[in-house]
Amino acid sequence: MPDPILLRKKIRETSPLIHNITNVVVTNFTANGLYALGASPVMAYALEEVKDMAKIAGALVLNIGTLSKQTNEAMLAAGHSANEQGIPVFLDPVGAGATPFRTESAKTLLKELNISVIRGNAGEIANLSSSPVAMRGVDSTAELKDAKKTAESTALEWQTIVCMTGEQDIITDGRSTFIVSNGTEMLTKITGAGCLLTSVAAAFSSVEKNALEAVTAACAFYGASAEAAAERQSFSGPGHFQVHLLDMIDQISDEDLQNRIQIHKEEE
Ligand code: ATP
Ligand code: TZP
Ligand code: MG
Ligand code: MG
């Protein structure tokens, strides 16, 4: 079974380098979240250096939130370099389906690279599958009839692991599926909650070869930390929540984690 407590300990002990090519909205929040976890973040985008940075990282995150043609090229170069070294590559297809540029860019990364995990909301994942849905901006407005089926078929289609997040997180390779029920609605009130989760999941994957278990553990750890953050006494809205989330990623105890974790394995 996925073990968030053990994997968080491993991250703290080894401080893995996580190379992020991410969007301009969430850059600072993502770096602070990775520090709070005990990982070592680096943001590097220049075509001249991404290959060198990716090959010394524990994991690479490609996030298309504010994509440009140049960043797209850098993502491909970094991705090839990581693939050559067997370093896990995570894709966050922010806003896939909102514009053809986003959808096509995400699909090109999936075609050209060996992507270990796609982490996105329901709408984004559906738009990488053969059953696209309408998207408005980066938020999922899709009410998928069968989210689990969509996650599983997308995983099989791209031969990867899909982590579809929402009130429940569905983590699947198309055959084995975990459901994580941790989290709080407050996560939908701040920007970057999904983007940071993608980078946190990449950090978990850098210390655990079984990516399905690593990502499941990351979702439970992150959701539990967010629950604890929302319960803090001085909490009074999204501004405080964002800061408390960083604090709880750093401070949540093993005992508190153990009591909160809600991971369910689906029958095959
Ligand atoms: P969106 O842009 O639609 O907000 P996102 O990329 O930010 O998507 P989310 O699906 O919001 O990603 O997931 C980010 C985190 O928020 C995950 O840990 C997820 O479990 C949690 N989450 C999202 N919605 C809810 C909810 N209604 N209740 C509890 N937790 C939630
Ligand atoms: N616009 C482009 S990227 C971005 C916004 C608002 C951040 C999206 O962050 P998340 O984690 O998907 O909510
Ligand atoms: Mg969100
Ligand atoms: Mg997102």
> Which ligand 2 atom sits closest to the C-alpha of 121?
12
Q: Which residues contact 184 (CB under 8 A, 6 or more apart)?
A: 223, 226, 227, 229, 230
pLDDT in tens, 206-230: 999 999 999 999 999 999 999 999 9
- 193 C-alpha vs ligand 2 centroid, how far in Å? 8
Q: Is the CB of 222 under 6 A from ligand 1?
A: yes
pLDDT in tens, 180-189: 999 999 999 9
Q: Is the confidence at residue 116, as pLDDT, over 70?
A: yes
pLDDT of res. 49: 98
Report the candidate in 91, 113, 171, 104 with the shortest Cα–Cα distance to residue 132: 104
Q: Is the confidence at residue 134, as pLDDT, over 80?
A: no
Give, using CA atoms, the residue closest to atom 1 of ligand 1. 139
pLDDT of res. 141: 62
**How far is the first Cα of the chain from the last one, in angstroms, to the nearest whole number?**
15
Q: Is the CB of 187 under 6 A from ligand 1?
A: yes
Mean pLDDT for the stretch of residues 20-44: 98
Question: Which tokens in the block code for residue 256?
Answer: 């508190």
Q: Is the CB of 122 under 6 A from ligand 1?
A: no
Annotated ligand binding at 99? The verdict is no
pLDDT of res. 232: 86
pLDDT of res. 38: 98
Ligand number nearest to the C-alpha of 184: 1
Rounded (10°) CA dihedral 28, 124, 60, 6: 90
- 208 C-alpha vs ligand 1 centroid, how far in Å? 24
Annotated ligand binding at 102? The verdict is no
> Which ligand 2 atom sits closest to the C-alpha of 192?
11
Q: Is the confidence at residue 235, as pLDDT, over 70?
A: no
Q: Write down the CATH number for the domain with range 4-219.
A: 3.40.1190.20
Give, using CA atoms, the residue closest to atom 24 of ligand 1. 166
Give, using CA atoms, the residue closest to atom 8 of ligand 2. 192
- 80 C-alpha vs ligand 1 centroid, how far in Å? 29
Percent of the chain with pLDDT over 90: 91
Report the candidate in 79, 68, 136, 128 with the shortest Cα–Cα distance to residue 104: 128
ipTM for this prediction: 0.97
pLDDT in tens, 148-161: 999 999 999 999 99
